Structure 1
């Protein structure tokens, strides 16, 4: 009998494993619908029972080696934890088709059932993930599985609307580009990578242009740019995720960064945790971006690798009462203040006590007093949108070095005088624009930057909105006041640094363009040009300082 063929057959059926070492095994685990999932178990030894850490991912390939998997989780195994690592449906070595977010709850719960039948299972399960791999766990967290004792959820929001939109503007630089790579990723379907995603009108035609057929799970959200649409209460709109943090009863460590794609949403998650459970939870915020440990500017001791390399093991050990917390503080937010270069701990990030207001003035300066109101008008061409580097805190790219001020006719830059002393900024910066347009609707976009002593300019925060979203009965050529409240931040202007504010009417690759025609922008087949005006002396930016 061919022994090798025999064991491979059992592996395929999920009845046996190929043993790479005494404590590492590979399985093809069959689910109720017949789809088999590539699953790896790693245990501290070939015998004994252990607490289990679960990690599921679509971010892999059929070429992934068992050695890489072993290295990835070595720190957990050495600390006495078993690890279950699984390729999600339709990804890597697992069977089936990948439809993002669609099957994660049932697939995740099925894996927990399988774990409970394993000889190394000791009755304790812990969850760990980053971004989508954290979302996988979030999808079933509200069911409160009895043996899930704790979790580390990094850089993932429970509100899927925030993955798709910012104030009704579709996040092409986030969900759009990500979906076109992830949808049915193991299949051989057409993917036209040459399509200019920012020049497709209506946007609802995009999936057909890329894949050769309409994709309902991509197209349907485009019909619902309003956060209050009933669609966002359906399973397709993320209903399985929304209440995960509110209903969960386990200790959760949330991790984000100031330039994450979900910074704002994760702060909202933190605030939504009921007080009786928040006392057992914590939130960490690094100075970096979606990867949380690195960025274009290096901040001393800013990464979790530097600040507390073993924080994952430490968190799980703390829950098991085998070790005290070293860096994390329960019921607290711990964040890194950029250029102040230190970690700060409090119950939440709040606006600092002092208000510092600058006026956007006629000479394109930022001043503490207003000059006589004047108008700066530019033409906004939807088919020639302005480009900005980095997604700041809404889409991929995080903090990036910026172009020179007024780099295009449709980017209006305002710059302050150098700060005369170190000034700490904390909380939500606010921008209020006095504007008008000759169209029924248009877009205004704001980016706030820091100009360092060395002349380099880095993005701090940005925001986008439409006139009709802010002023419901807007009439062309009338003056409107549009207010932006930025995502929380904590940083310091060093003496000699400057503040810069860029105003435009588009921002690619982060957001799809506004057509200057009122209505759902994703269904507009035509565009028109707009003459947009900023009224200086009446527009302001407010910082909260200490």
Structure 2
């Protein structure tokens, strides 16, 4: 018969991970006391060392709301222990046997209590690291500035120190991601339930969002009952005290443990992950950063991140930096199908190039002539849909042909001439619009696309901005200057392709529709159409601002076949997860 240890090793292999040389023992259901007397449960994975004291194996701490067994136990416990680390995988409060009630994003006190418990264990050797994606990365930021000198390294994927702005994207409300997450956490009852939940939650969220009911009823439609966290999000905007204890961005600059970050061009948290990177750099740290053509729950990224973390932890806990790449920043350039390495982000040699929206639907570096604005009407009863882009658990490809969307009357497009030569962008993308609306409460959505010679229009990045009375302040003619921060991008527009900018006022159900009334979003029922004008003239230009770099800038990635854009460390990874093949 196959032993339990062998089954775990086979499970690691089945997940696409590499087993290390060590056999592994497991202690289940260790009791960790929280500060208020609640008991949290954890499993400890330990390597079998030839004649060695297990305390010589540093500890990797993982705190998860998704269970500590099944795939998470294999990825975060068995895999690390087989490579010579101890791994403690803990279920956070309120789930999978841990006591108390789950309080989403309230993780500081329990995290610090867990670290204090860790210090007291006889098998603890005095150093530890933390690992994990998404919520498992957020819990790292919750304690990193206060964890003490024993914390030697952090490795986090598709996450940020605050979810405040990711929930309220440009002042809008990230409806679909919020619905998916509350449905997923409400239904995860055992270690395998995450598999079926991950498949069904996006469908339930989409059905709820398309029901036409007020937002405050959608959690009940999706999950069968009201979810307190979803209700909290509806009534607590980005500037409310609700977020104060859940926002750890002010502490990022105080973190001294080396940080390894992995993100995706189509991840919902990428802009704020890069703000954390910038805060560390400003504080004198040198974090490592990898961005691939992945969405939030992309399994190719998840597989590769474990190997990246093993390398990172060996460097900073075992004094073995031999596996570290020479350049801290590694980026996959879609359209080129290449990995590039740089010393930092933003990348050297980047210059902002302003492309102007033109009155005939054109897009060009030259300033537009004097012209009348373009107009469209947005109807929240029939909101402009979302068709591909940053997503939590995507049922569709994050980069999708936009032509069906671009045929709508409530979407404007501005398209360049065919490019005579390749144009490469790597960095932050922004837009500056001059707009006028008959509603003081309204939204604007800007999306950047790559149009292939056959007409295929693939979305690269997008951004949203919700306008409220006086913000921004209109001029005497009612025209407002609106700045929109899009997702960053790393992409090559090939010669013969065209650059396209979409302008709309909705991306439903990715973000909640704007009713136009200023009523609370959870209970709004009255929906008012908005008549929108986009200006493009010398006195009121509208532009997309592109981070242009010399073609082929940076060093080519090394260590495996990285041209397919899949696993971080190379290997069989699929088609690149984005418009990498456009025009090829």
**TM-score, normalised relative to structure 2:** 0.76
Q: Which range is displaced more, 434-443 or 152-161?
A: 434-443
Q: 1:290 aligns with which of 288, 296, 319?
A: 296
* In structure 2, C-alpha distance between the alignment counterparts of 1:429 and 1:261, rounded to whole Å: 15
Q: Do residues 252 (structure 1) and 259 (structure 2) align?
A: yes
Residue pair 1:99, 1:183 contacting (<8 A) in 2 also: no
Runs of 5+ unmatched residues, structure 1: 1-20, 295-302
Residue pair 2:389, 2:460 contacting (<8 A) in 1 also: no
**Residue 43 of structure 2 aligns with which residue?**
40
Residue pair 2:24, 2:81 contacting (<8 A) in 1 also: no
* In structure 1, C-alpha distance between the alignment counterparts of 2:283 and 2:434, rounded to whole Å: 44
* In structure 1, C-alpha distance between the alignment counterparts of 2:332 and 2:206, rounded to whole Å: 40
Deviation at 1:398, TM superposition (A): 7.6
Deviation at 1:184, TM superposition (A): 7.9
Residue pair 1:433, 1:534 contacting (<8 A) in 2 also: yes
* In structure 2, C-alpha distance between the alignment counterparts of 1:474 and 1:448, rounded to whole Å: 26
**Residue 264 of structure 1 aligns with which residue?**
271
Distance change (3 Å), C-alpha of 1:438 and 1:274: closer
Q: How does 1:381-530 map to 2 (within 5 A)?
A: 381-392=379-390, 399-404=398-403, 406-453=406-453, 455-468=455-468, 471-474=471-474, 478-518=478-518, 521-522=521-522, 524-530=524-530
**Residue 332 of structure 2 aligns with which residue?**
336
Deviation at 1:228, TM superposition (A): 4.0
Deviation at 1:528, TM superposition (A): 1.0
Deviation at 1:181, TM superposition (A): 3.0
Secondary structure of 1:113's aligned partner: helix
* In structure 2, C-alpha distance between the alignment counterparts of 1:477 and 1:322, rounded to whole Å: 64
Secondary structure of 1:433's aligned partner: strand
Deviation at 1:334, TM superposition (A): 3.0
Q: 1:154 aligns with which of 157, 165, 170?
A: 157
**Residue 235 of structure 2 aligns with which residue?**
223
Q: Which range is displaced more, 46-55 or 214-223?
A: 214-223
Q: Do residues 535 (structure 1) and 535 (structure 2) align?
A: yes
Q: 1:326 aligns with which of 323, 327, 343?
A: 323
Deviation at 1:264, TM superposition (A): 1.1
Q: How does 1:43-442 map to 2 (within 5 A)?
A: 43-45=46-48, 48-49=54-55, 50-60=57-67, 64-65=69-70, 69-70=73-74, 73-102=77-106, 104-183=107-186, 186=189, 196-197=208-209, 203-204=215-216, 206-207=218-219, 216-225=228-237, 227-233=238-244, 235=245, 238-239=246-247, 241-273=248-280, 278-279=285-286, 281-291=287-297, 294=300, 310-329=307-326, 332-340=328-336, 341-349=338-346, 353-369=350-366, 370-392=368-390, 399-404=398-403, 406-442=406-442
Residue pair 1:144, 1:249 contacting (<8 A) in 2 also: no
**Residue 5 of structure 1 aligns with which residue?**
none
- Measured against aligned partners, the alpha-carbon deviations of 1:183-240 in whole angstroms (never above 9, x if no partner) come to 48549xxx99797336667645555666787655433443343x4444432x2xx14x
Residue pair 2:444, 2:503 contacting (<8 A) in 1 also: yes
* In structure 2, C-alpha distance between the alignment counterparts of 1:207 and 1:75, rounded to whole Å: 36
Residue pair 1:288, 1:398 contacting (<8 A) in 2 also: no
Distance change (3 Å), C-alpha of 1:286 and 1:327: farther
* In structure 1, C-alpha distance between the alignment counterparts of 2:243 and 2:85, rounded to whole Å: 38
Distance change (3 Å), C-alpha of 1:417 and 1:472: closer
Deviation at 1:499, TM superposition (A): 1.0
Deviation at 1:335, TM superposition (A): 2.3
* In structure 2, C-alpha distance between the alignment counterparts of 1:174 and 1:424, rounded to whole Å: 30
Distance change (3 Å), C-alpha of 1:514 and 1:394: farther
Residue pair 1:450, 1:458 contacting (<8 A) in 2 also: yes
Distance change (3 Å), C-alpha of 1:267 and 1:417: same
Secondary structure of 1:27's aligned partner: strand
Residue pair 1:380, 1:531 contacting (<8 A) in 2 also: yes
Secondary structure of 2:62's aligned partner: strand
Q: Which range is displaced more, 481-490 or 463-472?
A: 463-472
Residue pair 2:32, 2:114 contacting (<8 A) in 1 also: no
- Measured against aligned partners, the alpha-carbon deviations of 1:27-70 in whole angstroms (never above 9, x if no partner) come to 25253556444422111128632211111222248xx55x9734
Runs of 5+ unmatched residues, structure 2: 1-22, 191-200, 551-584
* In structure 2, C-alpha distance between the alignment counterparts of 1:44 and 1:410, rounded to whole Å: 59
Distance change (3 Å), C-alpha of 1:380 and 1:71: closer
Distance change (3 Å), C-alpha of 1:544 and 1:123: closer
Distance change (3 Å), C-alpha of 1:327 and 1:258: farther
Residue pair 2:406, 2:413 contacting (<8 A) in 1 also: yes
Distance change (3 Å), C-alpha of 1:318 and 1:365: same
Residue pair 1:439, 1:477 contacting (<8 A) in 2 also: no
- Measured against aligned partners, the alpha-carbon deviations of 1:106-129 in whole angstroms (never above 9, x if no partner) come to 332333333334343211111111
**Residue 28 of structure 2 aligns with which residue?**
26
Secondary structure of 2:321's aligned partner: coil
Distance change (3 Å), C-alpha of 1:84 and 1:391: same
Residue pair 2:402, 2:458 contacting (<8 A) in 1 also: no
Deviation at 1:430, TM superposition (A): 3.0
Distance change (3 Å), C-alpha of 1:351 and 1:262: farther
* In structure 2, C-alpha distance between the alignment counterparts of 1:334 and 1:328, rounded to whole Å: 9
Secondary structure of 1:23's aligned partner: strand
Residue pair 2:417, 2:498 contacting (<8 A) in 1 also: yes
- Measured against aligned partners, the alpha-carbon deviations of 1:498-540 in whole angstroms (never above 9, x if no partner) come to 1111111110121001111246545544221122222345433
